[in-house]
Amino acid sequence: MTRHRVVGTVALVLLAVGCGSTCGRQEVPATVLAAAPEPTAEVRDLVLPLDGYQLSVNEIYLIETAKDVLTRDCMKRQGYDWEVIDDRGQYPDLRNRRRYGLIETAVATEMGYRTNPRLMGSTDVTARKADRENRLGAAEQAAALAPGDGCYPQAGDRLARGNQPDENLVGRLNSGSLDEALKSPEGVRVTRAWARCMAEKGHTYKDFYTAAEDPRWARSKTPSTAEKQTAQADVACKQRVGLVKALSEEERGIQQRDIRAHQAYFTALKSAKDRRLAAARAVLDRR
């Protein structure tokens, strides 16, 4: 089954997010990225045990700011400027927003089953980074961004040195816990209850991933009325049968079991994460 879910790609997603309504920055980026409805409390509170062993959005931004400081110093030595984006604020971690498919009425009403980077977090910082790169001349771009010896990749290598654990296992377990939860008796029960609810509303799908991937939605560039109505029914049925609560509780138990089974691995993973964050804080303390 092909599934619309955000699992094991959190770093890529979080590096795209930016400043939300909680940020106090005044500067408005010239680059404008697509908007999305603000996350619900349910989304903000959807945290799983394995999340704590991976970088959160705020931790990624801490590292990104340290990289900017190191890049600025490196660029200065070559006679160039580099903007440090260091007013990133604090942000909700939305890595699990689409883990169980579409779960927000406002998103269904506005976007149907569509997604964009903003859905996983605000994108003002991403826009500011795009603006920064667009202002660079060819020589500045090469000095800053050239693979291997550019100031920015070198800064990343410096902060990660000695703190690059094997993250394959946590990624596999993160995906596996969802698969296991869906196949559990409770997962099967709520999925079937969701399907019955959808059938009552005139929508026949075996599960919510199939609904999201209905080929009809790909026929238009924007969500059709039928797509939005189906998406709204999808969310309503998930709420009626308690699907998010049921699956997230199953996953919490599975992930806690997996952490106990691989205790030495997760201890090492957490230690490497802490060392990387400490290296970033040390850079920021010296600037």
Q: What is the model's pLDDT at position 128?
A: 87
Residues of the chain scoring pLDDT < 50: 1-2, 4-26
Q: What is the model's pLDDT at position 179?
A: 97
What is the phi/psi pair of residue 147, to 5°?
-55, 135
> Alpha carbon of 43 to those of 6, 95, 212, 252: distances in Å?
13, 9, 18, 15
Q: Quick check: 258 and 54 in contact, CB under 8 A?
A: no
1: in domain: no
**Tokens representing residue 104 in the block:** 């927000």
**Tokens representing residue 201 in the block:** 């509303």
Q: What is the model's pLDDT at position 62?
A: 92
108: in domain: yes
Count the Cβ atoms, other than its own, within 10 Å of residue 206: 13
Classify residue 38 as left (phi > 0), alpha (psi -120 to 50) or beta: beta
3: in domain: no
The domain total for the chain is: 1
Q: Write the DSSP symbol of residue 252.
A: H
Q: What is the model's pLDDT at position 32?
A: 63
Q: How far apart are CA 123 and CA 23, in angstroms?
A: 12
Count the Cβ atoms, other than its own, within 10 Å of residue 275: 16
Per the structure, the complete domain to which residue 147 belongs is given by 10-286
240: in domain: yes
Q: What is the model's pLDDT at position 39?
A: 93
Q: What is the model's pLDDT at position 164?
A: 76
Q: What is the model's pLDDT at position 33?
A: 67
185: in domain: yes
Q: What is the model's pLDDT at position 14?
A: 41
Q: What is the model's pLDDT at position 264?
A: 96
